[in-house]
Structure 1
Amino acid sequence: MLRVGVVGVGNMGRHHARIYSELSKEGEVEFVGVADANLERAKEVASQFKTKAFGDYRELIGRVDAVSIAVPTSLHKQVALEFIENGVSVLVEKPIAESIESAQEIIRAAKKNNVTLMVGHVERFNPGVLKLKEILDENLIGKVVTLTAKRVGPLPPQIKDVGVIIDLAVHDIDVMSFLLERNVRKVYARAGSAKNPLELEDYAIIMLDFENATGVVETNWLTPHKVRTLSVVGTEGIAELNYITQKLILYNHEWVKEAKVQFKEPLRNELEHFVECVKKEEKPLVNGEEGLHALMVAIKALESANKDEAIDVEFT
């Protein structure tokens, strides 16, 4: 039985704990425990999901085979490396790290220690996104010309170490790269801080140059309600996806069709995939290099906004 745990049980980590608890009841994993620097919070979550609480994540080392890491981004490298170096497979919540160098260090360590490294780009496991990929692969809307994403909403109070580009825009950067099977070649962004108390950017418009298409991402923490949409324009039609409802509609000059999408929680899909990859020693859908690419483009977008010029993205 695969032994799993969660490090960091704030907003996102709590959901990881909930799903591991469900998987444990189904006999898929043994849910060993949760760790959080706030021991009271760890105890509360552990009590809710019938597992053990630890105030120091190092107490999970030796007890688990795989772990979800949902601590603040600035701590990803430190926590991930300790587990990896002790032979534990890790799912690191997105973004993979706070810097390119830290991300590369995590990737190297995972390869050296022969453990599974997965990055939590949860939208990759959204049934609407997976169905859209099928539609593009079947050429149902022709050659893709543009992709336009809108990912806006109120400021999450728990996000204190990165701005809206690295926290939110990375989702759509990764999804667009996945749909097109291409890395971003060049990025141009405009961004600023309107209300963020830490003066981190809280709004941005990002243009992504792919080899065969152009992507645009609008993101902010200023909109009072959450919006998560993606529009893909092809030479023979367009596809409109609502990430939240997983509703996917295709349009062309002759008809309007709604794709049949079986609704399922993306995070549940993601954690089931992670568990299977660890058990079977298979490469995950979102590996370290893909997490690095999304982070690199986000960092280059910040650089572009600061310099007010397009920036090349070098990725090998």
Structure 2
Amino acid sequence: MADLRAGLIGIGMMGRHHARVLRELPGVELVAIADPAGDPHGVAGDLEVLPDVESLIAAGLDLAVVAIPTRFHEDAALKLAEAGVHTLVEKPISQSVEEGQRMVDAFSVKGLVGAVGHIERFNPALQELRRRIEAGDLGEVYQVITRRQGPFPSRIADVGVGKDLGSHDVDLTAWVVQSPYRSVYAQTVHKSGREFEDMMLATGRLESGVVVNHVVNWLSPMKERVAIVTGERGAFVADTATGDLTFYANGTFPLEWESISNFRGVSEGDVTRFSFPKREPLRVEHEAFRDAVLGIRHDVVTMEEGLRVLAVVEGVIESAKTGKSVEF
């Protein structure tokens, strides 16, 4: 069977990595690259850097990756859908729920694979975490806390920290626990002089009853990517920057101190850092997209799922503006 013909629009900070992985991916041939800004990182190789999505489509594609600024996602995706090209769009799916819905509809009508690049789902620590939660290792899940903070990336100009970084945590939380959001209440901060928020604190509840809390900002000099899931038998800590997963078990020693024995809490138990294969998340994401196009498997983040994430993040922003909780 001939390789799938792939095109890539956008070869900036993220697009350059897509170009590398697409070239390495078995069963896929990168045949065209487009970016109106040229090739700042020198990744085009022997391919001509095309000026727009129309010229990309003209190369004759089976699939495409859209890695341009969020405000251009809808236009590129709709043109690719009309041309019958399966498409992976970088997160967030779009600038607004309305734009995202039009994208979802366009790919659905054409029967095409429309995916969103929520890469954290393919992080080895989170994939192992979800597997262990599904297996019942944690028992009942009580709470999910995420912290995602670090310096401001100057390349992000058209969305705030909620849609850029916060969308990762919203998606991974609902996916790991396998429950959608019921409500959120949030506060945001504007300190960098931009129109968009650069700090977000959000708390909420999932349909399953699990409570969640997200700390997200571009105002910290230290980079942190942590998800903590606490439940009946202890707590998992996933560090997605390193791909590590650690389990803190509840202690099993009986309480002999009378003054605290009336408190039905837990004591400190064993700590286990798990060993498992750690593959590059972007490569695993591309493999899932390729296989979805071939009809082999369907574990990509669909545009419908990407749209639900965007709706929650927009709820976070609305809550911060109104001071009221937002229900879904």
TM-score range, shorter chain: over 0.9
Question: Does the CA contact (< 8 Å) of 2:288 and 2:298 recur in 1?
Answer: no
**2:186 corresponds to which residue?**
189
Question: Does the CA contact (< 8 Å) of 1:164 and 1:221 recur in 2?
Answer: yes
Q: Counterparts of 1:70 and 1:250 in 2: how far apart (Å)?
A: 35
**2:49 corresponds to which residue?**
53
Q: Counterparts of 1:81 and 1:143 in 2: how far apart (Å)?
A: 42
Q: Which has the higher helix share?
A: 1
CA deviation map 1:55-78 (0-9, x unaligned): 222111142110000111111100
Which protein shows a greater Rg?
Answer: 2
How big is the shift at 1:242?
A: 0.4
Q: How does 1:1-316 map to 2 (within 5 A)?
A: 1-23=3-25, 27-41=26-40, 44-47=42-45, 50-62=46-58, 63-195=60-192, 197-211=193-207, 212-252=209-249, 253=251, 254-280=269-295, 282-313=297-328
- 5+ residue gaps, structure 1, are none
Q: Counterparts of 1:131 and 1:247 in 2: how far apart (Å)?
A: 10
- 5+ residue gaps, structure 2, are 252-268
Q: Counterparts of 1:36 and 1:290 in 2: how far apart (Å)?
A: 27
263-272 or 56-65: which moved more? 56-65
How big is the shift at 1:282?
A: 4.8
How big is the shift at 1:261?
A: 2.4
Q: Counterparts of 1:281 and 1:239 in 2: how far apart (Å)?
A: 31
Q: Counterparts of 1:308 and 1:203 in 2: how far apart (Å)?
A: 16
Question: Does the CA contact (< 8 Å) of 2:147 and 2:214 recur in 1?
Answer: yes
Q: Give the secondary structure class of the aligned counterpart of 2:72.
A: helix
**2:257 corresponds to which residue?**
none
Q: Counterpart amino acid of 1:263?
A: K
Q: Counterparts of 1:228 and 1:14 in 2: how far apart (Å)?
A: 22
280-289 or 199-208: which moved more? 280-289
Question: Does the CA contact (< 8 Å) of 2:161 and 2:197 recur in 1?
Answer: yes
**C-alpha root-mean-square deviation of aligned residues, in Å?**
1.3
Over 3 Å counting, the alpha-carbon distance change for 1:96 and 1:281 in structure 2 is farther
CA deviation map 1:39-61 (0-9, x unaligned): 3438x3202xx433212221111
How big is the shift at 1:31?
A: 0.8
4+ residue runs over 6 A deviation: none
Q: Give the secondary structure class of the aligned counterpart of 2:100.
A: helix
Over 3 Å counting, the alpha-carbon distance change for 1:222 and 1:173 in structure 2 is same
CA deviation map 1:95-140 (0-9, x unaligned): 1111111111001100111111011000000011010001111111
Q: Give the secondary structure class of the aligned counterpart of 2:93.
A: coil
How big is the shift at 1:256?
A: 1.3
Count of paired positions: 306
